[in-house]
Amino acid sequence: MSLVQTVLSVLCAIGILQLGVLIARDLRPGNVTLGFLVVIELGLVVQLVVGLHRVFGDHAGVSVATYLGYLVGALLILPIGVVWSSAERTRSGTAVLLVAVLVIPVLFLRLHDIWSTHV
């Protein structure tokens, strides 16, 4: 995994812990939590730029469409989770955010798998 993916995975782990505490206490995410998710989303934009740079270089043996699909999917998962969570005003809405943040490192592992077929 790249450095960007590793840092974002650590941030996601912190976010998962934070959201888990909110679920246990039956609280809605506040501005601090949403600000933290914005930081993760900005990191995902950086990941998209890094991924696009990699694709425009040497990428023999890599399925470009699949790789780009995972890059864009990772970028869209948090906004979709936030919209879904804001529509659900219960503990389940916070759980939706937790799942969205949990999916991001999994997508990173898949991106790594796709790219490693190149090497």
Rounded to an integer, what distance in angstroms lies between the CA atom of residue 79 and that of residue 26?
22
Q: What is the pLDDT of residues 73-112, one digit of tens each?
A: 999 999 999 999 989 888 899 999 999 999 999 999 998 8
pTM score of the predicted model:
0.89
Q: Decide if 11 contacts 39 (C-beta within 8 A).
A: yes
Higher-confidence residue of 2 and 72: namely 72
Q: What is the pLDDT of residues 17-64, one digit of tens each?
A: 999 999 999 999 989 999 999 999 999 999 999 888 888 877 777 788
16 φ/ψ angles, rounded to the nearest 5 degrees: -65, -45
DSSP 30: -
| Placement of tokens 């694709």 in the chain | 55
Q: Decide if 4 contacts 50 (C-beta within 8 A).
A: yes
Q: Where are the domains of the chain?
A: 3-116
